């Protein structure tokens, strides 16, 4: 349910306050021996939306966006293993995370097949989920996830170093003062950062630390941007790419992904958004998702070329 800590920002607008006051429940499901946590809004038995966070993030990055759909959908936001309030694994993989997304969708009592929305690394997970479990999803919306070949390799070690090994801080306030996004961006809404940062911490011996497992980057042996390249052409459900104007999916990468999808999926730019669109342009992002869902409810998908 709503956490009073989330509501401390005096400048938070009414839409944000409403979102954080929207009732939700903390749920858990076992996936291959690991307890996976997710948030759930709305009535069971409705059409479903599943939100997937990025690397080293957690379900509450989506709270102020996901809650907006609770009146009409069964909405869930997952903590992938190694993130948030889910348990950790000895090793991680894109395919294991895809299984977790499907398991959560099934456990959440969604009517029919859900639409999955994934951000950044969560977009790679979402693409893999659609390819590996083609009968389980109605559509996917990928938010600023650059799927592309690269000229050099950056292994799991370098990816982990971008976030750093989680440190222990003597107080919650000390830790919050160190909260940063990877990559950084020009603008953030302070009340959203306040909410996300507080949900990113947990008490440990000696103080406070970040919840994510530094070893989660073992999922990537090469450059993270290449991990979903084999899966993208295999996606056969509805697909849309939301590209942040100041994000990681450049116009060239967006065009390349459009080609890999058989030129049959929309690529839409989110104006003024950095890579973490829910942190600087959440209402624009919410509207873009809502528009896609409305269109998909009233249109037929364009046929794509069949794989050889």
Helix axis angle, 121-132 to 94-107, nearest 10°: 70
Show me where the domains of the chain are located: 12-152+223-297
Answer whether 77's CB lies under 8 Å from 51's CB. yes
Burial of 58: CB neighbours in 10 Å, binned 0-12, 13-18, 19+: buried
Average pLDDT over residues 232-256: 97
- The pLDDT tens digits of the residues spanning 165-193 come to 778 999 999 999 999 999 999 999 999 99
Whole-structure pTM value: 0.94
Residue 219, pLDDT score = 85
Distance of CA 187 to the CA centre of its chain: 19
Is the pLDDT reported for residue 156 higher than 80? no
Burial of 151: CB neighbours in 10 Å, binned 0-12, 13-18, 19+: exposed
Q: Is the dihedral of CA 293, 297, 299, 305 positive or negative?
A: positive
Any idea what the Cα angle at residue 49 is, between residues 267 and 287, rounded to 5°? 50
Answer whether 40's CB lies under 8 Å from 76's CB. yes
Residue 163, pLDDT score = 62
Average pLDDT over residues 2-24: 77
The neighbouring-strand residues paired with 308 are none
**DSSP class of residue 151?**
S
Residue 194: both structure tokens together:
């306040």
> What SS3 class is residue 21?
helix
Average pLDDT over residues 239-254: 97
Mean pLDDT of all residues in the chain? Answer: 92
| 12-152+223-297 CATH pick, 3.30.530.20, 1.10.274.10, 3.40.50.1820, 3.30.360.10 | 3.40.50.1820
Residue 196: both structure tokens together:
């996300």
- 155 — pLDDT class (breaks 50, 70, 90): very low
Q: Is the preceding omega at residue 183 within 30 degrees of 0, hence cis?
A: yes
Residue 218, pLDDT score = 84
230 contact partners, CB below 8 Å, separation of at least 6: none
Average pLDDT over residues 78-83: 98
- Which H or E run includes 132? helix 121-132
Residue 296, pLDDT score = 96
Answer whether 249's CB lies under 8 Å from 146's CB. yes
Residue 143: both structure tokens together:
């938010």
Is the pLDDT reported for residue 6 higher than 70? no
> What SS3 class is residue 105?
helix
Residue 226, pLDDT score = 93
User: Quick one: residue 46, left, alpha or beta (phi over 0 = left, psi -120 to 50 = alpha)?
Assistant: beta
225 contact partners, CB below 8 Å, separation of at least 6: 146, 147, 148, 150
Answer whether 229's CB lies under 8 Å from 164's CB. no
Instruction: In whole angstroms, give the CA distance from residue 93 to residue 156.
Output: 12
């Amino acid at each position: 349910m709503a956490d009073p800590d989330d509501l401390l920002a005096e400048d938070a607008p009414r839409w944000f306050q409403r979102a954080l006051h929207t009732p939700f429940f903390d749920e858990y499901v076992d996936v291959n021996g690991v307890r996976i946590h997710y948030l759930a809004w709305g009535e069971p038995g409705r059409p479903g939306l599943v939100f997937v966070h990025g690397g080293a993030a957690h379900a509450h990055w989506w709270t102020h966006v996901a809650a907006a759909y609770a009146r009409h959908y069964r909405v869930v936001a997952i903590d992938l293993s190694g993130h948030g309030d889910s348990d950790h694994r000895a090793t991680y993989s894109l395919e294991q995370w895809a299984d977790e997304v499907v398991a959560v969708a099934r456990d959440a009592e969604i009517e029919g097949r859900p639409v999955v929305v994934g951000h950044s690394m969560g977009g790679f997970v979402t693409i893999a989920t659609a390819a590996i479990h083609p009968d389980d999803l109605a559509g996917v919306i990928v938010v600023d996830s650059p799927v592309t070949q690269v000229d050099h390799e950056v292994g799991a070690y370098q990816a982990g170093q971008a976030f750093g090994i989680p440190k222990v801080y003597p107080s919650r306030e000390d830790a919050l003062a160190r909260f940063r996004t990877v990559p950084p961006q020009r603008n953030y809404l302070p009340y959203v950062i306040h909410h996300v940062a507080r949900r990113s911490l947990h008490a440990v011996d000696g103080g406070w630390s970040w919840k994510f497992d530094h070893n989660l980057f073992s999922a990537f042996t090469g450059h993270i941007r290449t991990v979903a390249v084999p899966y993208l052409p295999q996606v056969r459900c509805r697909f849309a790419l939301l590209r942040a104007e100041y994000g990681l999916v450049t116009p060239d990468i967006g065009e390349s992904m459009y080609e890999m999808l058989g030129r049959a999926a929309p690529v839409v730019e989110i104006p003024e958004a950095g890579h973490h669109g829910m942190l600087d342009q959440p209402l624009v992002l919410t509207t873009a998702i809502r528009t896609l869902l409305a269109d998909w409810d009233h249109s037929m998908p364009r046929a794509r070329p069949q794989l050889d």
